[in-house]
Amino acid sequence: MADDSNSNKHRHVVAKVDELPPGERKIVKISGREIGVFNVHGEFYALRNVCPHKGGPLCKGRIRPLIVSAGGTDVAYEREDEILKCPWHQWEYDIKTGEALFGSNLRVRTYSVCQEDDDVVLYTDRRV
Ligand code: FES
């Protein structure tokens, strides 16, 4: 459903919903900028395909769970398919927010994206 906060933005149909099942991504080019569109458990998210660390193609990285440990050697996996790992130096980002996992204020640019009927629609400001 379209969001009223997108009414002054540029609308881009970037995929059919069927093309982008949960756990998948599609990288699109809008105004010369690459943006990764992700389906995480049926909700859509979009991130700029530029890692804030050193400019790597972040959206081409592996999609992973969050690995947690209370100490010792036991680990657990949470938030399946919500973490994106940059292919250059393995920094990890939350696909839903664009924030780096290690707690700095570093984040990748995010965009508003949603399902409208059978389309996945991304909204950008004039400045992409
Ligand atoms: S460029 Fe992405 S982690 Fe270094």
The pLDDT value recorded for residue 3 is: 59
Q: Which ligand 1 atom minimizes the distance to the CA of 54?
A: 1
pLDDT of residue 4: 67
52 lines ligand 1 (CB under 6 A): no
pLDDT of residue 2: 52
The confidence score (pLDDT) of residue 97 equals 96
> Is ligand 1 within 6 A of the CB of residue 61?
no
Rounded CA separation 22/95 (Å): 13
Q: pTM for this structure?
A: 0.90
What are the structural domains of the chain? Answer: 4-124 (2.102.10.10)
Q: Which of 30, 81, 28, 87 is nearest to 57 (CA)?
A: 87
Residue written as token pair 């149909």: 13
Give the H or E element holding residue 59: none
User: How confident is the model over 53-75, as pLDDT tens digits?
Assistant: 999 999 999 999 988 888 888 89
C-alpha closest to that of 60 among 80, 86, 83 = 86
Q: Which pLDDT score, from 0 to 100, does residue 127 have?
A: 64
Q: Which atom of ligand 1 is nearest to the CA of 87?
A: 2
Residue 118 to residue 57: CA distance in whole angstroms? 28
What pLDDT score does 128 carry? Answer: 64
SS3 14: strand
> With a cut of 50, which residues of the chain have pLDDT below it?
none
Cα separation, 56 vs 58, in Å, equals 6
Residue 111: name the closest of 120, 124, 98, 100 by CA.
Answer: 124
